[in-house]
């Protein structure tokens, strides 16, 4: 439970509750801007200086708000800047991949409260692996001395088709009439928010990375699967249910290979970590000359192994990544045509291949997208650190708390 929720629960007078909710609106505005002046707050909230000043003084007294530093000034005295105090929210951040789970504990000011840990864990399509997944999160708390009474909630990012309102994942931990979010909230007795991994990456890019102050942009997450994040007019485009950006399952090869989603010829069958590993495993079994066969067998190879081999100069691995880049670049060109972005950010595991993958991608984009559209569009590699992605996940949780749990509906 957050400090704000504790305060709200301690209030019984409706007038006091309404006053606290007004303060929550102010705190949200401060949090979204990281640090903000009184004049900016007056514009954002549309309230007078006397009213705003009273709220600020009360929030400082309640140790929810602090005056941190002075901002820039064209002339005269620099304005005071306000931000949330440390530890108002303390969030368990859980980043789920196909075969691992990273767990972290951070607060609203991106302070690391306990060291991150990575656990081996297989993500299952049915509920078979759910209890083990819950156990990983509980084990992290136990091993790092995290008291559940200090935890505001659990923020989870994971691949899959995730309903933005229900928190239901139709790709993993799925069963008919089963709600993943509700189940996890019952298991942890905490508020839980679940977000698709590419939506999280895009959110982190907006707040800490290459899409900061970019009104129209795309994020391509290149990992076991391929996914697209869309920023339109400064907002992440989610679609009606939150299913936007499933580029990996668009039809790409006519009468192509059967994809695990049940359709044939999906992009992921020719451009993904899954397809790369499948191809490499077959070729290693068939004794194709490559450094990979000296280090790995067909059962334990992973995308990162292929990327590392390519960076070491292995011709076979380079050819695999080049072919993947060509297919992916052609697909990206279609989205550049449709969305007319000012920036395309390439992130995920395959971004580590650097020019080995960006060169074929750029070549295909130049081939298949109109020159006039490309003149105002740049393709860049993500510079996000692992911590910044975690901070983005905590931020996603906190903003959702403000919007859905702490503020009145009217």
Last residue of a domain, one of 62, 84, 106: 84
Q: For residue 375, what are the contacts with CB-CB under 8 A and spacing of at least 6? A: none
**Beta partners for residue 81, in sequence order:** 69
How long is the chain? 410
Confidence category of residue 75, pLDDT binned at 50, 70, 90: very low
Q: Which of 56, 84, 112 is the last residue of a domain?
A: 84
Nearest to 267 by CA among 170, 355, 275: 275
Task: Tell me, yes or no, whether 180 and 225 share the same domain.
Answer: no
pLDDT band at 74 (very low <50, low <70, confident <90, very high): very low
Q: Which of 84, 107, 141 is the last residue of a domain?
A: 84
Looking at residue 21, what is its pLDDT?
81
Residue 170: domain span: 90-200+387-405
pLDDT value at 133 more than 90: yes
Task: Looking at the structure, tell me whether residues 191 and 329 fall in a common domain.
Answer: no
Residues 64, 107: one domain? no
Q: Are residues 370 and 242 in the same domain?
A: yes
Average pLDDT value over all residues in the chain: 89
Can you give the pLDDT at residue 15? 78
pLDDT computed for residue 193 by the predictor? 96
236 with 375, same domain: the answer is yes
Whether 205 is in a domain gets the answer: no
Cβ atoms 196, 242 nearer than 8 A: yes
Structure confidence by residue, pLDDT tens digits, 345-386: 999 888 888 889 999 999 999 999 998 888 889 989 999 999
Question: pLDDT at position 73, please?
Answer: 47
Query: Do both 178 and 298 map to the same domain?
Result: no
Residue 28 shares a structural domain with residue 152: no
> How big, in percent rounded to 5, are the helix, strand and coil portions of the chain?
45, 20, 35
Across the range 57-81, mean pLDDT stands at 75
In a domain, 348, yes or no: yes
Give the range among 216-230, 268-282, 296-310, 382-396 with minimum mean pLDDT. Answer: 296-310
Q: Is 21 among the domain residues? A: yes
Rg over CA atoms, the chain:
23
Question: How far is residue 68's CA from residue 76's CA, in Å, rounded to a whole number?
Answer: 19
**For 109-133, what is the mean pLDDT?**
95
The C-alpha atoms of residue 178 and residue 171 are separated, in whole angstroms, by 12
- Here the CATH number for the domain that contains residue 279 is 3.30.420.40
Under 8 Å CB-to-CB from 93, ≥6 apart: which residues?
Answer: 103, 104, 105, 106, 155, 390, 393, 394, 397
For the segment 229-269, what is each residue's pLDDT rounded down to a tens digit?
Answer: 999 999 999 999 999 988 888 888 888 888 888 888 899 88
Structural domains in the chain (count): 3
Position 144 confidence tier, pLDDT thresholds 50, 70, 90: very high
Choose between 330 and 78: higher pLDDT.
Answer: 330
Q: What is the 8-class DSSP label of residue 325?
A: H
Per-residue confidence (pLDDT) for residue 11, from 0 to 100: 63
Same domain, 38 and 133: no
Distance CA 312, CA 291 (A): 9
């Amino acid at each position: 439970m957050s400090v704000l929720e504790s305060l709200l629960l301690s209030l019984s007078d409706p007038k006091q509750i309404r006053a606290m909710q007004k303060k929550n609106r102010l705190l949200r505005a401060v949090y979204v801007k990281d640090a903000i002046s009184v004049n900016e707050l007056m514009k954002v909230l549309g309230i007078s200086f006397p009213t705003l000043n009273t709220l600020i003084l009360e929030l400082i007294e309640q140790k929810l708000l602090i005056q941190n530093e002075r901002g820039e000034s064209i002339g005269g005295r620099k304005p005071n800047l306000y931000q949330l105090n440390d530890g108002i929210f303390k969030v368990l951040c859980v980043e789920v991949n196909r075969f691992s789970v990273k767990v972290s504990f951070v607060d609203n000011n991106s302070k690391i409260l306990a060291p991150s840990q990575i656990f081996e864990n297989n993500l299952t399509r049915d509920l078979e692996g759910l209890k083990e997944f819950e156990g990983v999160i509980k084990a992290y708390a136990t091993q790092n001395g995290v008291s559940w009474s200090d935890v505001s909630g659990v923020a989870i990012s994971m691949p899959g088709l995730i309903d933005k309102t229900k928190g239901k994942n139709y790709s993993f931990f799925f069963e008919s009439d089963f709600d993943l979010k509700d189940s996890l909230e019952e298991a942890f007795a905490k508020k839980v928010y679940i977000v698709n991994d590419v939506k999280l990456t895009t959110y982190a890019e907006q707040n800490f990375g290459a899409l900061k102050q970019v009104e129209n942009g795309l994020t391509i997450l290149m990992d076991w699967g391929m996914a697209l994040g869309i920023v339109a007019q400064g907002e992440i485009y989610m679609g009606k249910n939150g299913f936007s950006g499933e580029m990996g399952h668009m039809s790409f090869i006519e009468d192509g290979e059967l994809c695990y989603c049940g359709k044939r010829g999906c992009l992921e069958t020719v451009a993904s970590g899954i397809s790369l590993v499948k191809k490499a495993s077959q070729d290693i079994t068939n004794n194709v000359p490559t450094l990979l066969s000296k280090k790995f067998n067909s059962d334990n190879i992973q995308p990162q192994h292929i990327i590392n081999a390519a960076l070491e100069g292995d011709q076979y691995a380079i050819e695999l990544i080049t072919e993947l880049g060509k297919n992916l670049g052609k697909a990206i060109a279609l989205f550049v045509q449709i969305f007319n972005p000012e920036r395309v950010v390439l992130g995920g595991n395959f971004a580590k291949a650097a020019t080995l993958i960006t060169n074929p991608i750029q070549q295909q984009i130049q081939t298949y997208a109109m020159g006039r559209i490309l003149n105002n569009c740049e393709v860049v590699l993500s510079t996000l650190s692992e911590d910044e992605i975690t901070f983005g996940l905590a931020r996603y949780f906190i903003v959702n708390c403000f919007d859905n749990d702490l503020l009145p509906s009217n």
